Amino acid sequence: MSHTTYPQSYYAASANPVPPRPALDGEVETDVCVIGAGYTGLSTALFLLENGFRVTVLEAAKVGFGASGRNGGQIVNSYSRDIDVIERTLPAQQARLLGEMAFEGGRIIRERIATYGIACDLKEGGVFAALSAKQMGHLESQKALWERYGHSQLKLLDRQGMRDVVASDNYLGGLLDMSGGHIHPLNLALGEAAAVESLGGTIHEQSPATRIERGANPVVHTPRGRVRAKFVVVAGNAYLGNLIPELAAKSMPCGTQVITTEPLSEDLARSLLPQDYCVEDCNYLLDYYRLSGDRRLIYGGGVVYGARDPANIETIIRPKMLKTFPQLKDVKIDFAWTGNFLLTLSRLPQVGRLGDNIYYSQGCSGHGVTYTHLAGKVLAEALRGQAERFDAFAGLPHYPFPGGRLLQVPFSALGAWYYTLRDRFGL
């Protein structure tokens, strides 16, 4: 059987030590079989275990192998489409529930870190950076909108205020969210996996679910074993492939790339981001960056389709980094990697149930560090028979991508081109 390891990322190179997690061999019986050990799967497993369920997690590769172990590490509130869009398009009661949940994921992450003592370089504070007057206007509305939902840790920054937190001349202003922040994403996932095991849950790595036998007691098959369960939770996101064809049609895997510099001197690091906040700009195809625990600049940006080799990634992302920080022109890039997130046409998560006992959550469209933690709680509530919050997500409408799976990549490339133009000309 093939053995899949992490990409050569900064996160894999600086991961906390972990125990061996053998592949599933033989048959086991449990209450819930979770497919995928990213944040969605691990968060669901943890909430279920805390509520007395027996849980077996199947991971095709390694814990945090997918987006959860490769992302920008930015704790960003709300959803990829903000609450204003939700309010405009959904019934009032459903919109209210979704709005009230928009800030919960970040709180769950902090609770997990505190309760289970997870070492993942948590730092508080995140900034949304405006590149145009239109984007600044949008941030002003966003602040008012979030405050309407009880969020009180927001501060608008003018050009000078922005210059005080980011040493770049690119921005007109920004919005500081002190309940945003950043983490070492793989170490967060590894800490959550250890928490799952500390509560008696089992995680099998190198154990892809290859088939689900649906029915009153579903059975999940892997190459060398099977799990008989009362419930299945599908949390494979962009790496799920075609395991559940009805989900694949309404979502599309997209690649985004990240580079990491060599460690910067303390003076240089502090001159770039004096308060150590993370930053994302307001473009649709956004740039996002932050300092690591050992003072490297971690910089991601854009959406590029298909697998890329590290040299190629550096060619694409380094110019973006230098446009923001020309002062880094002599700094070496130590790591470059790619990861996939799952896009839906509405950019809202795809959540639901197949039959009575197969649950899923996926497709948070590149903005999932907080949402996935909330998703675990909401899925666990639904399995316990409290489905009001689950139903608010499950009622979000989703549409197939035009042309179906085969045409998804050309369609998405067209979409990326359109959004690049939109960002460039401030449309």
Positions that interact with ligand FAD (CB under 6 A): 35-41, 58-61, 65-68, 70-74, 76, 208-209, 235-240, 243, 256, 258, 288, 300, 339-341, 362, 364, 366-369, 372
Hey, what's the torsion of the CAs at 98, 72, 39, 13, to 10 degrees? -170
Q: Which is nearer to ligand FAD, 99 or 208 (CB)?
A: 208
Rounded to whole angstroms, the Cα distance separating 55 from 64 reads 18
CB 387 within 8 A of CB 353: no
Q: How far is the CB of 38 from ligand FAD (least distance, A)?
A: 2
Residue for token digits 């389709």?
A: 305
Q: How far is the CB of 177 from ligand FAD (least distance, A)?
A: 13
Q: Hey, is 94 helix, strand or coil?
A: helix
Q: How far is the CB of 223 from ligand FAD (least distance, A)?
A: 10
Q: Which of 40, 35, 106 is nearest to 361 (CA)?
A: 40
Side-chain half-sphere exposure of 97, counting CA atoms within 13 A: 16
Rounded to whole angstroms, the Cα distance separating 408 from 411 reads 5
Q: Which is nearer to ligand FAD, 163 or 347 (CB)?
A: 347
Q: Which is nearer to ligand FAD, 154 or 227 (CB)?
A: 227
Q: How far is the CB of 160 from ligand FAD (least distance, A)?
A: 27
Q: How far is the CB of 267 from ligand FAD (least distance, A)?
A: 26
Q: Which is nearer to ligand FAD, 229 or 240 (CB)?
A: 240
Q: Which is nearer to ligand FAD, 68 or 93 (CB)?
A: 68
Q: Which is nearer to ligand FAD, 238 or 336 (CB)?
A: 238
Q: Which is nearer to ligand FAD, 99 or 368 (CB)?
A: 368
Rounded to whole angstroms, the Cα distance separating 203 from 79 reads 29
Q: How far is the CB of 97 from ligand FAD (least distance, A)?
A: 21
Sheet strands (E) in 250-389: 252-261, 278-281, 287-291, 297-301, 333-343, 350-354, 358-362
Q: How far is the CB of 235 from ligand FAD (least distance, A)?
A: 5
Rounded to whole angstroms, the Cα distance separating 157 from 284 reads 21
Q: Which is nearer to ligand FAD, 96 or 124 (CB)?
A: 124
Find the residue with minimal CB distance to ligand FAD: 368
Query: Residue 414 corresponds to which tokens in the numbers above?
Result: 């067209």
CB 221 within 8 A of CB 302: no
Q: Which is nearer to ligand FAD, 92 or 307 (CB)?
A: 307
Q: Which is nearer to ligand FAD, 243 or 269 (CB)?
A: 243
Rounded to whole angstroms, the Cα distance separating 49 from 425 reads 50
Cβ count near 426 (within 10 Å): 11
CB 237 within 8 A of CB 65: no
Q: How far is the CB of 95 from ligand FAD (least distance, A)?
A: 21
Residues 6+ apart with CB under 8 A from 231: 31, 32, 33, 218, 357, 358, 359, 383
Query: Residue 322 corresponds to which tokens in the numbers above?
Result: 């230098």
Tell how far CA 317 is from the center of its chain.
20
Tell how far CA 348 is from the center of its chain.
13
Q: How far is the CB of 66 from ligand FAD (least distance, A)?
A: 2
Q: Which is nearer to ligand FAD, 130 or 235 (CB)?
A: 235
Rounded to whole angstroms, the Cα distance separating 36 from 268 reads 39
Q: How far is the CB of 34 from ligand FAD (least distance, A)?
A: 9
Q: Which of 279, 299, 282 is nearest to 426 (CA)?
A: 282
Tell how far CA 52 is from the center of its chain.
27
Q: How far is the CB of 349 from ligand FAD (least distance, A)?
A: 9
Q: Hey, is 123 helix, strand or coil?
A: strand
